[in-house]
């Protein structure tokens, strides 16, 4: 039995059976009871989905998908559209990535399978979360964390380049996400400003894992050209096999340049000229960019992958030294590198957090029928969807979506002469992320 099965008593529902994947919501009646107990929110919802005309019509026309009420469109891609929705029971907003199954060829289906597999493994403050997968005969819906603060591309296009401290805070969060991914051998392969989202509290969320892949180790060679050409590393244009981590690192260098200058490092009128600029590493950093930031950009945007900064070198650079992450994200005694930032549903939850989620599920009307039901992991179960939403809600209350801050000051030796200093505690260095 999968970990997403709950049984619900519904005294007024006799002829309706509602099922999504392996989760069953069946009715029963206690004939000896003098008066039926009040219906739970889940009982009411499942009854409406079977008997209420308005609810049934909304399900038929796509205004509801499973337990989600669908609202307006918030984005679109080559094979998908993204809509805002909210969970009818938990009431939290979500993003629905809608894919038309009839338009997916074999390659697109393989990429989609990889995307779901990658997101199943990812639970990090700076990575968009997958809550649930809902499938109908014609469509597939990925229920994702909703980040309502826009994306980095629109932010810079509308507001111009970021100030130095803002750039540090954004890059540090992207770097945190990428290190976490690389530690479990997941390569993003499509990092770009459009895929860097913000929450309403300005927390960064790396999104869109449509080109992601998982390797057996970080030295595995890849051979598929992925991503947006202006962010593509030189080795991708050479039609050779390549290593995944340096490709993601290069894209972070392009992102950093874009943030601090408001322009792209590699620009050309034609794809051929753009390809030549990237292969040659031909770019110019404006002189007003801070010296430590210039050093970081030059360390990343090196045409030879072996010469390029590694993620750990980026974390240890002077420019990011003042960035301090919330202590609430760091366990006292990390169980492993995968759990050093945040409790995971694949690891041990805090006891009070687990009790909170269990209590919330019971209030909604879910009753456990399996000893390990408290941590469902099957994405195609609606129980897993509400569980993960409640889990994330509890973790946000612990501060998991709080962005880092810049403490102290790092002066630029190029401008300040020999009197440069670091006015901060060294314990705030990004070693907290490793």
Torsion of CA 26, 30, 31, 35, to 10 degrees: -120
In this structure, are residues 339 and 331 in contact, taking their beta carbons and an 8 Å threshold? Answer: yes
Determine contact, residues 268/282, Cβ cutoff 8 Å: no
125: buried, middle or exposed (CB in 10 Å: 19+, 13-18, 0-12)? buried
- Which helix (H) or strand (E) segment holds residue 186: the answer is strand 186-187
Q: Find where tokens 């209030």 sit.
A: 363
Active-site residue among 27, 151, 164, 190?
Answer: 190
Q: Is 271 exposed, middle or buried (0-12, 13-18, 19+ CB in 10 A)?
A: exposed
Taking a C-beta distance cutoff of 8 angstroms, is the pair 335, 344 a contact? no
Alpha-helical runs (H) found in 350-432: 351-364, 382-397, 413-416
Closest CA to 98 of 113, 117, 84, 118: 84
Q: Please give the backbone phi and psi of residue 421, each rounded to the nearest 5 degrees, phi first.
A: -150, 165
Which residue ranges are tagged as binding site? 97
Structure tokens at 155: 């932010």
Token reading at 235: 């080795």
* DSSP letters for 100-121: EGGG--HHHHHHHHHHHHHHHH
Dist CA 350 CA 127 (whole Å): 21
Cα separation, 434 vs 313, whole angstroms: 11
| CA of residue 113 relative to chain centroid, distance | 16
Cα–Cα separations (whole angstroms), residue 61 to 58, 75, 253, 319, 388: 5, 20, 44, 52, 27
How many C-beta neighbours within 10 Å does residue 429 have? Answer: 19
Residue ranges for the binding site for ATP?
A: 97
Asked if 401 is an active-site residue, the reply is no
Active site residue ranges: 190
């Amino acid at each position: 039995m999968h970990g997403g099965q709950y049984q619900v008593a519904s005294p007024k529902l006799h002829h309706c059976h509602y099922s999504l994947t392996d989760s069953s919501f069946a009715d029963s009646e206690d004939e000896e009871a003098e008066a039926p107990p009040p219906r739970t929110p889940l009982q009411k919802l499942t009854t409406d989905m079977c008997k209420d005309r308005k609810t049934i019509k909304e399900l038929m026309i796509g205004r509801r998908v499973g337990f989600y009420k669908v609202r307006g469109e918030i984005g679109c891609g080559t094979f998908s559209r993204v809509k805002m929705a909210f969970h009818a029971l938990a009431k939290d907003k979500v993003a629905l990535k809608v894919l038309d199954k009839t338009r997916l060829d074999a390659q697109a289906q393989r990429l989609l399978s990889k995307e779901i597999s990658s997101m199943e493994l990812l639970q990090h403050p700076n990575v968009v979360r997958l809550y649930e997968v809902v499938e109908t005969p014609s469509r597939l819906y990925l229920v994702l964390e909703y980040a309502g603060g826009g994306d980095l591309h629109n932010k810079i296009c509308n507001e111009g380049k970021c100030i130095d401290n803002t750039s540090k805070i954004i890059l540090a969060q992207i770097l945190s996400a990428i290190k976490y991914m690389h530690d479990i051998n997941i390569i993003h392969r499509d990092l770009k400003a459009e895929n860097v989202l913000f929450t309403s509290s300005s927390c960064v969320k790396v999104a869109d894992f449509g080109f992601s892949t998982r390797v057996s180790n970080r030295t595995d060679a890849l051979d598929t050209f992925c991503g947006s050409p202006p962010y593509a590393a030189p080795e991708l244009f050479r039609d050779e096999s390549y290593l995944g981590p340096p490709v993601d690192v290069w894209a972070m260098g392009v992102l950093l340049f874009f943030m601090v200058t408001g322009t792209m490092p590699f620009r050309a009128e034609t794809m051929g000229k753009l390809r030549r600029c990237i292969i040659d590493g031909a770019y110019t950093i404006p002189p007003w960019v801070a010296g430590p930031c210039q050093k970081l950009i030059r360390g990343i945007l090196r045409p030879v992958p072996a010469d390029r900064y590694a993620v750990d070198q980026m974390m240890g650079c002077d420019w990011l030294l003042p960035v301090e992450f919330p202590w609430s994200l760091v366990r006292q005694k990390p169980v492993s590198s995968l759990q050093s930032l945040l409790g995971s549903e694949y690891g041990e939850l805090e006891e009070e957090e687990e009790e909170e989620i269990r209590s919330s599920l019971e209030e909604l009307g879910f009753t456990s029928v399996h000893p390990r039901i408290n941590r469902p992991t099957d994405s195609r179960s609606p129980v897993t969807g509400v569980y993960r939403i409640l889990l994330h809600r509890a973790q946000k209350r612990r501060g998991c979506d709080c962005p880092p801050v810049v403490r102290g000051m790092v002066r630029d030796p190029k401008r300040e002469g020999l009197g440069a200093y670091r006015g901060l505690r060294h314990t705030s260095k990004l070693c907290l992320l490793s």
